[in-house]
A = this chain, B = another copy of it.
Amino acid sequence: MRDRLQQGGENLLFLTDDQLLQGIELLFFAYRGFTSDPDRILENYTYGRAHHRAIHFIHRRPGTSVNSMLDILGVTKQSLNRVLRQLIEDGLVESKIGEKDRRERHLFLTKSGKELESELSSAQRKRLRTAYKEAGPDAVLGFRKVLENIMDPSMRKHVKKLVKD
């Protein structure tokens, strides 16, 4: 009876503050695990997580402009510039002047950039693949749906859609 009143007749037990707080902690611990593999690999280089993020998104969206990277990464241009400068100097990233608009710089991974990307990505994919496999396809669907809802709506367009077969 008390429950019915609180829940408005529906089963909304998954929305209690306790459940939400547990969700907050799950996200915290999971995200730390999720970043730990690449972080460990990057210790052998002079790079950090910021470089990883840049490399990931350049890989997934070859040819994006600096400006759109700023949008995606949500950092200042000064911050991104420091990272890009190093990656370009070290020959992992190539910056090509735009053909249509010559103010723009379009970013690409070089061969060795792709190699590092692959090393970082495969560690992270391995962790996710195991997690997905153990949870099963339905759980993964729910996982994705909740994450989509958590992010700022303006960011949803940046999640690269899957290629239809």
Using CB atoms and an 8 Å cutoff, list the residues of chain A in contact with chain B: 11, 14-15, 17-34, 36, 53, 56, 60, 74, 121, 124-125, 127-135, 137-152, 155-156, 158-163
**How far is it, in angstroms, between the C-alpha of A78 and the C-alpha of B27 when the chains are bound?**
25
26 CB < 8 A contacts A-B: A14-B132, A14-B140, A19-B140, A20-B132, A21-B160, A22-B159, A22-B160, A22-B162, A25-B159, A26-B147, A26-B151, A28-B53, A29-B155, A30-B151, A31-B31, A32-B151, A32-B152, A33-B155, A127-B150, A128-B150, A131-B150, A132-B146, A139-B143, A140-B142, A142-B146, A143-B143
Please determine whether B125 and A163 come into contact, CB atoms closer than 8 angstroms: no
Please give, as numbers and ranges, the residues of chain B lying within 8 Å of A29 by CB-CB distance: 147, 151-152, 155-156, 158-159
How many copies of this protein are present in the complex?
A: 2
Please determine whether A148 and B15 come into contact, CB atoms closer than 8 angstroms: no
Partner of A33, one of B132, B139, B152: B152
Please determine whether A146 and B140 come into contact, CB atoms closer than 8 angstroms: yes
Seed contacts A142-B143, A142-B146, A143-B143; 17 additional CB < 8 Å A-B pairs: A11-B137, A14-B137, A17-B125, A20-B125, A20-B132, A22-B159, A26-B144, A26-B159, A27-B30, A29-B158, A29-B159, A32-B74, A32-B151, A131-B149, A139-B143, A141-B142, A143-B147
Please determine whether A27 and B125 come into contact, CB atoms closer than 8 angstroms: no
Closest residue of B by beta carbon distance from A140: B14
Top 3 closest A-B pairs, CB basis?
Answer: A142-B142, A139-B142, A131-B149
